[in-house]
Structure 1
Amino acid sequence: MTIADPELVLSAPVNLRDLGGIPIDGGVVREGVAIRTDDLAYVTAEVASELVAAGLTAVIDLRSPLEVSVTGRGPLGEYPISYHHLPLIADVGESMDRDAPELSHDAMGRMYLRMVEVAAPQLVTALNVIAHTPGAAAFHCAAGRDRTGVLAAMLLLALGAADDDIVADYARTGDNMVAIMERTAPVMGAMWKALGFDAAAMSATSSLLEGSMEVSMRSLLDTLRAQHGDALAPLRAAGLSDATIARLRERALGA
């Protein structure tokens, strides 16, 4: 399957933030370790240059193969930084009910749980990249909300962050949703069309701009513990080691 070339305009991210300052076991995350963001594939050349100058050494791309086929790596592909394509959803279309796609906070929470359980190996690889890259690692999907939010949550869990702080970081995206939707509309609209979904109808029935985003992440964390005991259990079963967790904590605390 291919997507018709969208009218792509290079632009600055609207949902980029360094995880620095979030409380974790032993202190707070230092800046320059992990950056979560919306799509980096169509940032401007200026933004790409600024990110690399500020210490970016690795990009973790959580998008599906179909999404990547449209935009590739963009301007950041011109720099000698490592690139890791680790899709948390292999096929976006197959992850949704084609007849009645549900875009609600509760549905997102259930989708996040499937990501953790099904894409645990990709999440473990991403955590290893963050643990061992010499500079900052930036991870992104399209909006920097769902797939990016799941990896951010797993990272913060590994670092010993409290649920309230994980949820608070996730919910910060809520204020950016309108700008995110505007920025990603050309690519996402083309993708939904290629997958056979009516983007306008999906938008009309979505409740993601209503209520609190916190519901989705609370649901993920609570369900992981209810079903697995340890919220990181699926990742541990997929190879997340104590050594990687220790290395992440060393890097995050500046040790």
Structure 2
Amino acid sequence: MTAPIIDIELSAPVNLRDLGGIPIEGGVLREGLALRADDLSVITDGDARLLVDNGLAAVIDLRTADEAALTGRGPLANYAVAYHHLPLMESIRAGMPDGGTPVIEHVAMGEMYARMVETAAPQLASALGIIALAPGATAFHCAAGRDRTGVLAAALLLALGAGDDAIVADYARTHSNMAAILQRLRPTMGALMARLGFDLDAMTAVTFSDEPMDISMLTMLARLRERHGDALAPLRAAGLSNGTITRLRQRALA
């Protein structure tokens, strides 16, 4: 059966932000090191050019192979920007709890994040190495820029010695952007979800609940420490070295 053709709508990212300004060990994270974002494969050429002009040197794509195949690299492929595909899940369905029921509860999402750190530790360790060595800014993204992107942002901030309050606050900033994010990713993720038998709006219902979004990140951090002591232990076991952490901290404070 041939997959339906979708219209790729190019648009400005709505959940793009520089992590600069976040308190870390020894000071404040400088701007121009790490940016987190919603899908960068469907940005306009003007947005791509602006990112490059502002120092973008590398992109880390955390999406699944199915997602990446749907849109490719997008306009940034036309620029001298290194591209690294490091999917944190084998498939979108793999991100669902047992039985394939969509996650619509914050604690369950935090549990999923903790499992993601454990199962995708090599990819996360590689991503931190890329950020440490890139000759300019590194941007990392998934589709919405919340879940997989939030996990990598948390790992980076943990490596930089940020406190839990700062990590959770950065994660929770996405909440106010979710309506715009959902609208932006509907043409692509909506089509992919439909192929898997899921409804995108139903899956994101948790986004608009009254429950604080920060519960997910607090749950992830708690579960990782309960199981490993150090929340970064899975990444260290997967190859994250003290040298990489030192390099990250040097670059973050430079």
> Same fold per TM (> 0.5)?
yes
**Paired residues of 1:3 and 1:190 also in contact (CA < 8 A):** no
Q: CA deviation at 1:201?
A: 4.5
Higher mean Cα deviation, 17-26 or 194-203?
194-203
Question: What's the counterpart of residue 174 of structure 1?
Answer: 175
2:14 matched to which residue of 1?
Answer: 14
Question: Counterpart amino acid of 1:241?
Answer: S
Q: Distance in 1 between matches of 2:25 and 2:149?
A: 22
Q: Which runs of 5+ in 1 are unaligned?
A: none
Matches within 5 A, 1:138-177: 138-177=139-178
2:13 touches 2:40 (CA, 8 Å); kept in 1?
Answer: yes
Say whether 1:51 aligns with 2:51: yes
Deviation at 1:193, TM superposition (A): 1.3
When residues 5 and 173 of structure 1 are mapped into structure 2, their CA distance, relative to the original with a 3 A threshold, is: same
Using a 3 Å threshold, how does the CA distance of structure 1 residues 191 and 131 change in structure 2: closer, same or farther? same
TM-score for the superposition, normalised by structure 2: 0.96
Q: Secondary structure at the match of 2:35?
A: strand
Q: What is the CA distance between 1:90 and its match in structure 2?
A: 1.1
Partners of 1:104 and 1:208 within 8 A in 2: no
Instruction: Tell me the residue number matched to 1:80.
Output: 80
Amino acid across the alignment from 2:216: S
Superposed displacement of residue 114, structure 1: 1.0
1:208 is the counterpart of 2:207: yes
| Contact persistence 1:2–1:194 (CA under 8 A) | no
Aligned to 1:105: 106
The yes-or-no answer on 1:69 pairing with 2:69 is: yes
Q: What is the distance in 1 between the residues matched to 2:124 and 2:101? A: 29
Alignment-derived partner of residue 122 in structure 2: 121
- The reply to whether residue 183 of structure 1 matches residue 180 of structure 2 is no
Map Cα deviations across residues 22-68 of structure 1 (whole Å, 9 max, x no partner). 00000000000000000000000000000000000000000000000
Distance in 1, Cα, partners of 2:89 & 2:3? 17
Deviation at 1:176, TM superposition (A): 0.2
**Pairs aligned (count):** 252
For residues 201 and 38 of structure 1, the distance between their equivalents in structure 2, rounded to whole angstroms, comes to 19
Identical residues among aligned pairs (%) = 62
Pairwise CA distance, 1:101? 2.2
Larger CA deviation: 6-15 vs 166-175: 6-15
Deviation for aligned residue 1:200: 4.9
Task: For residue 2 of structure 1, report the CA deviation from its aligned partner.
Answer: 7.4
One-letter amino acid of the counterpart of residue 228, structure 1: H
CA distance in 2, matches of 1:219, 1:107: 9
Distance 1:245 1:2 in 2: 46
Of residues 7-16 and 244-253 in structure 1, the stretch that sits farther from structure 2 once superposed is 7-16
Which position in structure 2 is the counterpart of 1:231?
Answer: 231
CA contact 1:5–1:70 (8 Å) conserved in 2 = no
Gaps of 5+ in 2: none
Distance 2:159 2:201 in 1: 38
Paired letter, 2:242: D
What's the Cα RMSD here?
1.4
Q: CA deviation at 1:199?
A: 3.5
Normalising to structure 1: TM-score of the pair? 0.95
C-alpha contact 2:168 2:218 (8 A) present in aligned 1: yes
Q: Distance in 1 between matches of 2:232 and 2:213?
A: 22
Aligned to 1:197: 198
Maintained 8 Å contact 2:168/2:217: yes
Match of 2:93 in 1: 93
Match of 2:208, SS state, is: coil
